[in-house]
Amino acid sequence: MHPETLAIHAGQHPDPVHGAVMTPIVLSSTFAQEGPGEHRGFDYSRSGNPTRNALEACGAALEGATHGLAFSSGCAATTTVLHLLRPGDHVVCGDDVYGGTFRILDRVMKPLGVTATFVDMRDLARTAEAFRPETKLVWLETPSNPMLKVFDIVAVCALAKARGAMSVVDNTFATPVIQRPLALGATAVVHSSTKYLNGHSDVVGGFVMTSDDDVAARLRFLQNAMGAVPSPFDCFLVLRGLKTLHVRVERHAKNALTLARWLEAHPDVARVHYPGLASHPQHDLAATQMALPGGMMSFVLRAGATGTVAERARRFLKALKVFTLAESLGGVESLIELPAVMTHASLPPETRAALGIDDGLVRLSAGIESVDDLQHDLAQALDASR
């Protein structure tokens, strides 16, 4: 079946008890046993839950995976995957990742003896040099947050495979509608389902999908043992969100492309980072690896009549009326933020500077509203902030 069909049907069958078409929310934390250890597949909801099972099957189907595991947040998914590693192991990680991912590697895993090297994976020679004999895992986020760098999934996963390391792609920005990393050679895919998968900014959740039976079994153990599982109610909401993923993502990308082109042509905008623009350095790679350029972009304004670029950006963000100034992305509503002081504040200032996350960089998540209203809002805020 096609992904649009799987999104609506995979893992979801009319409830055998009442015939309910929508997956029931099974809130029970525990399940009656006929005799000790004799149960119908569920004994305790941290270990397994019918609503979560339905979500996990649907998410796995969308990424073309045989196994799906749902978590209580994207960071919980990341932390659990990284606990596949042992003290002394090493990670090669893309240099531009969500601030929280950097923080897990730098302040949670490093004290446990798992070290990481951050490398600009656009340069494959430098990426290859970053490997060590003890490298066990490669982490790539593409398009990256917030610079929208695009990394070659096939090439980086091949480097990992040749050296016996797992490769994990954070597919949060792209979604399986746009990019299917497992088909491109990745061992596993990670999502913050807080974003596009749920799509309505009312759940914090995470996901891991893989077709590697051994990795799946180890993750299933860790999911239960570490316990960062989502509530059945949240599983229901993400499952409902997935049903419209395709139509939402198509509209997000259409709106984003219109806004990126308009911003790029605007005299008050210095630079726009968006894989759908011909000016994007990996535009051609993006076109081969991604079915659509996605809903995320970042840009830098020119300074106004007074003050710095950062001050102009602050005036601009305060003047917006339709866009909401908030962390997060991938919801139906358009969001905008300043990574240096919001989503990426946990990065050391020198790291932010090296990546180009300067104080005036604005990140935009295009929603699915009327693109005319969005463009008008950006225009009036640019005028008001001059």
98 is an active site residue: yes
- Least CB distance to ligand P1T at residue 204 (A): 5
Number of residues that bind ligand P1T (CB under 6 A): 19
DSSP E strands in the chain: the ranges are 67-71, 90-94, 115-119, 135-141, 166-170, 188-192, 206-210, 269-273, 296-301, 324-325, 335-337, 361-365
**In the annotation, is 149 catalytic?**
no
Q: Is 324 in the site for ligand P1T (CB under 6 A)?
A: no
**In what order do the strands lie in the sheet containing 67-71?**
67-71, 206-210, 188-192, 166-170, 135-141, 90-94, 115-119
Q: What's the min distance (Å) between Cβ of 342 and ligand P1T? A: 7
170 binding ligand P1T? (CB under 6 A): yes
* Look-up of token digits 């008050």: 268
Backbone CA torsion sign across 313, 314, 318, 322: positive
Q: Give yes or no for residue 234 binding ligand P1T (CB under 6 A).
A: no
Which of 58, 104, 116, 204 binds ligand P1T (CB under 6 A)? It is 204
Catalytic-residue membership of 170: yes
Among the listed residues 11, 74, 176, 230, the single contact to ligand P1T using CB under 6 A: 74
If phi > 0 it is left, if psi is from -120 to 50 it is alpha, else beta; for residue 207 that is beta
- Which among 195, 248, 314, 363 is annotated as catalytic? 195
**Nearer to ligand P1T by C-beta: 251 or 363?**
363
Can you tell me which of 100, 181, 199, 331 binds ligand P1T, judged by CB under 6 A? 100
With b for 16 or more beta-carbon neighbours within 10 A and e for fewer, the 141-153 pattern comes to bbbbbbbbbbbbb
Q: Cβ distance 69 to 76 under 8 Å?
A: no
Is 195 a known active-site residue? yes
Which one is catalytic: 46, 163, 254, 315?
A: 46
Which of 12, 23, 127, 145 is the binder for ligand P1T (CB under 6 A)?
A: 145
Q: Does 229 bind ligand P1T (CB under 6 A)?
A: no
- Please give the angle made by the CA atoms of 354, 172 and 327, to the nearest 5 degrees: 65
The yes or no reply on residue 198 touching ligand P1T (CB under 6 A) is no
Residues that bind ligand P1T (CB under 6 A): 73-75, 98, 100-101, 141, 145, 170, 172-173, 192, 194, 204, 206, 327-329, 343
- Which active-site residues does the annotation give? 46, 98, 170, 195
